[in-house]
Structure 1
Amino acid sequence: MANSKPITANKQELLDLEKAFWTGDSAFYAANADVECLVAFPKMAQAMSNADLAKTATKPNKWRDLDIKMKGMVEPGSDIVMLTYEAHATREDGELYAALVSTGYVHRADGWKMMFHSQTPIETGAKAQG
């Protein structure tokens, strides 16, 4: 039985999911990615199954000092939301990383699931001080 009530995305809920994808382990990815997810990184662009995507999260907490600045969010359908933001983080080796990030979510019976994720790196300095 379909629920006719429109779903409204909660911006904070989606940002919390985004932050958790940056630091989550494979179990988090398996629980929060859709059955199939389209990913686009500079050296990899493809559709990945939930299991294959979860296997990429072998090093939880490889990022620290994550800062997300929301740039925009649209809801093209009652169960789809796209967001884009600028992310700055420090890798575990101290290298600074910055990227323009876009993520798409689809609402399933058990909540929002990531179905699209893209990162375009932005130039930064080489290493964090301290």
Structure 2
Amino acid sequence: MTDQTDLWQLEESFWLGGAETFRSTMADGAVMVFPYPAGILQGDGIADSVARAPRWRSVLMSERRINLRGNVAVLAYKAEAEREGAPIQTMLCASTYVREEGGWRLMSHQQTPA
């Protein structure tokens, strides 16, 4: 596997996985910015919020961009995601990862409705 492949797979796992995915692969103090009502979340509050929210059942990531510099990677893309019983939502997203002992960790993520 390449770093790019690993990063895109990890990014997809955040969409489709549960709270344990967040707890096991986020950097300490990670920050996320979600559309209202979730808003700005940090650290353990992220996994707690995910545990209470309905999970996505599918996500299509297109217009993918990546900037990889040493131990930091930024991913940007358009996401079309679907939850059970809800219409598909389209968002522009950006995630920043840092490579630490044990692999890549999510440091920040933002979703902007498109």
What's the TM-score once normalised by structure 2's chain length?
0.86
Q: Is contact 2:32–2:46 with CA below 8 Å preserved after alignment?
A: no
Question: 1 or 2, which has the higher helix percentage?
Answer: 2
1:45 to 36, 40, 52: 40
Unaligned runs of 5+ in 1: 1-8, 123-130
Aligned counterparts, 1:50-61, within 5 A: 51-58=44-51
Instruction: Report the Cα distance in structure 1 between the residues aligned to 2:77 and 2:113, rounded to whole angstroms.
Output: 12
| Aligned partner of residue 14 in structure 1, secondary structure | helix
Equivalences for 1:15-26 in 2 at 5 Å?
15-26=8-19
Distance, in Å, in 2 between the alignment partners of 1:111 and 1:58 is: 24
Deviating above 6 A after TM superposition, structure 1's stretches of 4 or more consecutive aligned residues are: none
The answer to whether the 8 Å contact 1:37/1:114 transfers is yes
Pairing 1:14–2:22 present: no
Task: Give the total of aligned pairs.
Answer: 111
| Paired position in structure 2 for 1:34 | 27
Q: Percent identity?
A: 24
Gaps of 5+ in 2: none
How many Å apart are 1:30 and its aligned residue? 0.6
Tell me the TM-score normalized by structure 1. 0.76
